[in-house]
């Protein structure tokens, strides 16, 4: 099992796919071209992958591009027959945040984001209890189910862990059973 992160610089993709001098993601065709370029880079990663989609150099991100590059990318890899792909969006600026949040809410999706200041958070539709479990993973490191049970004795814990895993915002190691926050896998790959 190799989950070595693949970093994809969206600013570079914009300049290559739309030959623009600026890293502006501002039309649906531009967003689609960038998403297809991301998918092409991911095609060689195999059945499991962890991709860091770096938005650091993107100056402007409109709603249509947030939908194409973020929501449709996530949706495409949540399909049962798709490869098991995990995503973290890096360099999310305050000017990107509203557009990303809105498109994720419209599609009932959630994404792991790292802001331009290095703070890691969940964007999109997520229940408060799910966020608490994710934050524990984020701060404490990989945990087995029993570790959660000591902190979260509620009977819905198994449902929450399963939901977070299915939404691909946490990874469960099939060998050790440990749950990992995606951000930890970026810092310390398996």
What pLDDT does residue 80 have? 82
Torsion angle of alpha carbons 26, 11, 111, 28, nearest 10°?
Answer: 20
What pLDDT does residue 154 have? 73
Residue 53's DSSP bridge partners are 8, 89
What pLDDT does residue 187 have? 84
Q: How confident is the model at residue 179 (pLDDT cuts 50, 70, 90)?
A: very high
Residue 153 has pLDDT above 80, yes or no: no
Place of tokens 């796919």: 17
- DSSP letters for 10-47: HHHHHHHHS--SS-EE-SHHHHHHHHHHHHHHHTTS-S
Average pLDDT, the chain: 90
H or E, element range at 83: none
Instruction: Give residue-wise pLDDT tens across range 43-82.
Output: 888 778 999 999 999 989 999 999 999 999 999 999 888 8
What pLDDT does residue 184 have? 86
CB 6: neighbour CB atoms within 10 A?
A: 16
At a CB cut-off of 8 Å and minimum separation 6, what does 112 contact? 87, 88, 89, 120, 121, 122, 169, 181, 182, 183
What pLDDT does residue 21 have? 55
Q: How confident is the model at residue 27 (pLDDT cuts 50, 70, 90)?
A: confident
Distance CA 112, CA 170 (A): 9
CA atoms within 13 A of residue 99's CA, in its CB half-sphere: 18
What domains, with CATH codes, occur in the chain?
1-125 (no CATH), 126-190 (1.10.10.10)
Instruction: Give residue-wise pLDDT tens across range 82-132.
Output: 889 999 999 999 999 999 999 999 999 999 999 999 999 999 999 998 999
What pLDDT does residue 1 have? 58
Q: Are 172 and 179 in contact (CB under 8 A)?
A: yes
């Amino acid at each position: 099992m190799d989950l070595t992160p693949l970093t994809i610089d969206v600013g570079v993709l914009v300049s290559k796919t739309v030959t623009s001098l600026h890293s502006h993601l501002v039309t649906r065709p531009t967003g689609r071209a960038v998403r297809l370029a991301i998918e092409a880079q991911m095609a060689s990663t195999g059945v499991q992958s962890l991709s860091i989609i770096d938005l650091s150099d993107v100056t402007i991100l409109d709603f249509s591009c947030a939908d194409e590059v973020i929501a449709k990318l996530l949706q495409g890899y949540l399909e049962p027959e798709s490869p098991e792909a995990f995503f973290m969006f890096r360099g999310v600026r305050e000017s990107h945040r509203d557009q990303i949040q809105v498109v994720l809410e419209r599609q009932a999706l959630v994404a792991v984001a790292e802001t331009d200041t290095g703070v890691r958070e969940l964007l999109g539709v997520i229940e408060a209890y799910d966020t608490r479990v994710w934050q524990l993973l984020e701060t404490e490191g990989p945990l087995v189910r029993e570790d959660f049970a000591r902190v979260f004795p509620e009977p819905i814990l198994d449902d929450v862990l399963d939901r977070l895993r299915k939404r691909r915002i946490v990874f469960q190691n099939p060998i050790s059973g440990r749950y990992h926050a995606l951000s930890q896998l970026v810092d310390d790959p398996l």
